[in-house]
Structure 1
Amino acid sequence: MRISQAQRTENENRIRAAMDRLLRGEIPPGGKCDIKTLAHEAGVDRTAFDGTRPYAHLRTEFERRLQALQQLGKIPEPREAQIIRLKDENAKLRERLATSEQTIDELTDFRTQTLARLAAQHEGIVHLRESAAGTGRVSSLAAPRTTVIGSCS
Structure 2
Amino acid sequence: MVRIGAAQDALSKSRDSAVSLTRAMGYLAFAAPKSADIAAHVKSLSRDLGSLTDHASYLGSNITFLLDASLGLISIEQNAVLKIFSVSAIIFMPPTLVAGIYGMNFDVMPELRWALGYPFALVLMLLSAVLPFAFFRWRGWL
Using structure 1 for the length normalisation, give the TM-score. Answer: 0.42
Structure with the larger RCO, 1 or 2 (CA within 8 Å, 6+ apart):
2
Using structure 2 for the length normalisation, give the TM-score. Answer: 0.45
Larger radius of gyration: 1
Relative to its length, the structure with more helix (as a share) is 2
